[in-house]
Amino acid sequence: MRYKLLHSWDVRPDEAVEIQEMLAGSVRIQRVERLETVAGTDVSFSGSRAYAAAVLLDYQDMRLLDVSFADMDVGYPYIPGLLTFREGPVILRALEGIDDADVLLFDGQGIAHPRRFGEASHLGLLLDRPSVGCAKSRLCGEFSEPGKERGSFSLVVDRGEIVGAALRTRTNVKPVFVSPGHMSDLSSAIEIALNCARSHRVPEPLRLAHILSSKRARSKR
């Protein structure tokens, strides 16, 4: 999977914010039409080294089609809202090792972000592929608790704008927070996350990528 780098990663936090504000206007919100394959990524850390896994799955049966790994030293600090500047380079390197996916799932936010430019929006734009954010916690906005049944959701609203949804992927289990990344919309994000969450709270591409990245990080200690 190829990408176009639109900026440097080696920037100060205030410069990173400026980059997000500049590029957020390039994000496109639209329905995802083609859904045959889905990719997921995850990053695990061991000391200052980051280990990323990228997986490609069949969208219909969640069969694993391909996997790729990458690792590198990471010096960028963990700063809420600037996660992409810490994890983005190693994720992109891992994604270079798999074929193009019809949609990309990221363990982070899409437009449900203070500057409407979370990891899913940022990396989706660089890759020029449909992307969806699926996070385990909320970064911004307010929401009401969704119904207890699988498939129930409630809208996440930030400063009067609908930016995502709290989605129940399993009955009586805590919701995940989904939002459009790039070249997707909220209905697509909900549909894709729910389809990919077969027997666990976290959608299978993200769950599998997490297992593989964690295993790789442990093996390097």
Residue-wise pLDDT tens digits, 111-156: 999 999 999 999 999 999 999 999 999 999 999 999 999 999 999 9
pTM above 0.85, yes or no: yes
pLDDT at residue number 210? 98
pLDDT digits (tens, 9 = 90+) for 60-70: 999 999 999 99
pLDDT at 220: 78
With 80 as the cut, is the pLDDT of residue 108 above it? Answer: yes
Q: What pLDDT sits at residue 197?
A: 98
Paired tokens of 180: 């459009």
Task: List the 161-167 sheet strands across, edge first.
Answer: 64-73, 49-58, 37-46, 103-106, 131-135, 176-182, 161-167, 153-158
**Rounded CA separation 160/2 (Å):** 36
- Residues 196, 189 contacting (CB under 8 angstroms): no
Residue ranges of domains in the chain = 13-141+180-219
What mean pLDDT do residues 87-97 have? 98
Report residue 84's pLDDT band, with 50, 70 and 90 as the boundaries: very high
Alpha carbons 123 and 2: distance in angstroms, whole number: 11
Q: Residue 221 pLDDT more than 90?
A: no
Which pLDDT score is estimated for 118?
98
End-to-end CA distance of the chain: 29
Q: What is the pLDDT of residues 167-217, one digit of tens each?
A: 999 999 999 999 999 999 999 999 999 999 999 999 999 999 999 999 999
The Cβ of residue 160 has, within 10 Å, a number of other Cβ atoms equal to 5
> In this structure, how many other beta carbons lie within 10 angstroms of the beta carbon of residue 32?
19
For the chain, the average pLDDT equals 97
Averaged pLDDT, 75-100? 96
pLDDT value of position 90:
98
Tell me what the mean pLDDT of segment 81-87 comes to.
97
Q: Which CATH fold would you assign to the domain 13-141+180-219? A: archaeoglobus fulgidus dsm 4304 fold (3.30.2170)
What is the spatial distance between Cα 58 and Cα 19, in angstroms, rounded to a whole number? 34
Yes or no: say if 48 and 74 are a contact pair by the CB < 8 Å rule.
Answer: yes
